[in-house]
Amino acid sequence: MTPYVADPVYLNGSFLPLAEAGVSPLDRGFLFGDGVYEVIPVYSRRPFRIDEHLGRLQATLDGVALPNPLAVDDWKRVISRLIAAAPWDDQSIYLQITRGADDKRDQPFPLASIPPTVFGFAGPLITPSAEQRARGVAAISVADQRWARCDLKVISLLANVLARQQAVEQGCAEALLIRDGYLKEGAASNIFVVRGGLLLAPPKTRLMLPGITYDLVIELAHTYGQPLEIREIAETELRAADEVWMTSSTKEVLAITTLDGEPVGDGRPGPIGERMWQWYQDFKNTVMRKG
């Protein structure tokens, strides 16, 4: 076991140690990035919004014409077994399906008789540190160079990888992706903006991943009466924001307090983001940890 991957992992119907899990170099995930994935947070050994995560996995599989190799109940059984075997109470479950390994390298789909490669593992859930939460994190903005189906959670993430690397090289935690003058999301997160007490969220289009955390944040805004507008956010509005946050299964709700070296608002995590983080924790602790 590595500190980040629990044994056993799941591979093609078997549970086995990571060191014994192997796939062919002809796997289409390896050759073409031809596959999909999902990341599911686990709190107190309970998977968070599992039906929503498995629903998004199905939507992505449909979007790339890859048959789902497992029924929902079978996915749940795999996930339960990974959770039970892992040493941590809070975890992150990674699932990946590729279009399998043919006996050649050829772009069109292989014969239906070629089985997909199905992989899953549990890792520890690494949420932001107390210091990151207290100070917020820095981000850069970059041009969104991804393809036109960013609503699909596919493993071909090169544009995201390059954007994120650029951020890291500048000492930043995230890269905000701007397309045609509008904020879409982060390289691995959704982005919310606050202006004058109003919470702004970019709409779900083909140019943004429909985040499970994004949906919960919007639900919580409705529940607690936080004014919210779902609409395109111009880059100029992003730069004039009082607060900017990133949301994801692992980052939860995290303030971005510096953008391209300039302070966001007063340069500290803002009150609406703080409230949203608390609502998120309350939701987690009541709905999740107490069952």
CA atoms of 48 and 105, how far apart (whole Å): 38
Contact by Cβ (8 Å): 243, 193: yes
- Least Å distance, CB 155 to ligand PDD, is 10
Kind plus residue range of the DSSP H or E element containing 271 = helix 271-283
Residues that bind ligand PDD (CB under 6 A): 39, 185, 188-190, 209, 211-214, 247-250
Residue 110 or 144: the one with the smaller Cβ distance to ligand PDD is 144
Kind plus residue range of the DSSP H or E element containing 11 = strand 9-11
- Least Å distance, CB 46 to ligand PDD, is 17
Q: Is 284 a catalytic residue?
A: no
Q: Annotated catalytic residue: which of 76, 153, 204, 284?
A: 153
CA atoms of 127 and 28, how far apart (whole Å): 32
Contact by Cβ (8 Å): 176, 140: yes
β-partners of residue 200 are: 193, 229
CA atoms of 143 and 260, how far apart (whole Å): 13
CA atoms of 277 and 194, how far apart (whole Å): 14
Residue 102 or 151: the one with the smaller Cβ distance to ligand PDD is 151
- Least Å distance, CB 249 to ligand PDD, is 3
Class of residue 222 by CB neighbours under 10 A (exposed 0-12, middle 13-18, buried 19+):
exposed
- Least Å distance, CB 273 to ligand PDD, is 16
Amino acid at 233: I
- Least Å distance, CB 190 to ligand PDD, is 5
Q: Is 3 helix (H, G, I), strand (E, B) or coil?
A: coil
CA-nearest of 262, 151, 148 to 202 is 151
CA atoms of 102 and 91, how far apart (whole Å): 33
Residue 249 or 257: the one with the smaller Cβ distance to ligand PDD is 249
Residues with a known catalytic role? 153
